[in-house]
Amino acid sequence: MTQKRHTFALAALALSGAFAFGVGCTAKATTGEPAAPTASTTAPVASTPPPPPDKDGDGVADADDACPDQAGKANADKAKNGCPDAPPPPVNKNISIEGNEVKIIKKIMFKTGSAEIEKESDQLLNDIAEFLKGDGKVIDLLEVAGHADKTGDAKKNLKLTDDRAKSVVDALVKRGVDATKLRAKGYGPYCPVDPGETPDALERNRRVQFAILKMGGKKTGFLVGCAEAAKNGVKPQPIF
């Protein structure tokens, strides 16, 4: 009986040791290197940098703005980037198209008995040239017609008015107007606008007229010259 108990005790001890060894292995397996930490799925939020300075609030940064104190527009030209549009040039109310004529309020002044244009008319010629290159560019053919009053020799006045018309054409061409759009013609004293003989009437008849003969590719039908001029052999040139 004692021997059986001893044998049983040994068996139990052996079984206990085996169990302890198994538990120890299991514990060792579960208590090995710690698991790697799990990566966070939420990306860090980057802070938004402040916008570059823009004093005038036009969307062009001050560093690139040629006009940082004036709101304007983006422009590929660095000298104009961020600047407002240039104001349109002032309208010259002294020059306009009326019907089939270019009307000029001021007069082109010439030296007495000469085709030489006075210096005081330089600015007027500048203005006429700019008009013809701008609003007047729709004009295809413009006749610069010279007229005189009825005092003096008619034949001399005829030549004088022709020379004066040519002087005006030359002056406009020098200022950049297309020469193919201009022609000159003098009509002497034969086509007055005022039949009177007062100083004012004579002054009105001494003039340079700008007649539009073709515009927009078409003839205007404007009749240059007059019947009296035609009677004296002064006829307008044909229009092509």
User: pLDDT of 72-115, one tens digit each?
Assistant: 889 998 888 988 887 655 567 789 999 999 999 999 999 999 99
Contact (Cβ atoms closer than 8 angstroms) between residue 175 and residue 129: yes
Spell out the domain ranges in the chain. 55-87, 95-231
- Which homologous superfamily is 95-231 in? OmpA-like domain (3.30.1330.60)
Distance CA(178)–CA(133), nearest Å, equals 8
pLDDT at 23 over 70: no
Task: Say what the pTM is.
Answer: 0.64
Contact (Cβ atoms closer than 8 angstroms) between residue 52 and residue 61: yes
Averaged pLDDT for residues 27-35:
50
pLDDT at 10 over 50: no
The number of angstroms, rounded, from the C-alpha of 120 to the middle of its chain's C-alpha atoms is: 31
**pLDDT band, residue 69 (cuts 50/70/90):** confident
| Among 94, 100, 54, residue whose Cα is nearest residue 74 | 54
Distance CA(67)–CA(69), nearest Å, equals 6
**pLDDT band, residue 40 (cuts 50/70/90):** low
**pLDDT band, residue 36 (cuts 50/70/90):** low
